[in-house]
Amino acid sequence: MQRSVFEQQLQIAVELDLPVVIHTREADADTRDILRNYSAALARKGVIHSFTSTLALAEFCLAEGFMLGFNGITTFKGADNVRQAVAATPLDQLVLETDAPYLTPVPFRGRPNAPYYLPFIARTVALIKELEVEELLRQTYSNSQNLFFANVSNTLSSNTTGNLH
């Protein structure tokens, strides 16, 4: 049933020209198989949210044009696989996430997560990518804007007649 619903959601994204947000866990083969069938038709692709899978899935998704989303897990002691995926992700395909209220970064793990912890995630990702935090933040902000809001200004411009109420 999950496969069927996932495919239906991807088809809706294709028809509406929307990016997708995919959270896959312990389903690398299914995710790869399904995305192979839809990736070419998804003009705006999307993000593999809260990425925790293998480097092989990361490389597949990146090659298909998806972004990878990284959150507080990047700071967890046992998350070497996530840090490997961060290292392999081109800067223009990386977004930062909180996944609030869960996955709070170290040193606040165990507390409810919130967007104000994003600097801890950014610092860890910047260290992995060997970048200044400001450069990482500029690029990930731009990536998020391009992914989710690329058509918003065009849509607003074409639907506005100059009379705002």
Query: pLDDT tens digits for 65-120?
Result: 999 999 999 999 999 999 999 999 999 999 999 999 999 999 999 999 999 999 99
| b/e sequence 134-161, b meaning 16+ C-beta within 10 Å | eebbebbeebbeebbeeeeeeeeeeeee
pTM recorded for the entire structure: 0.90
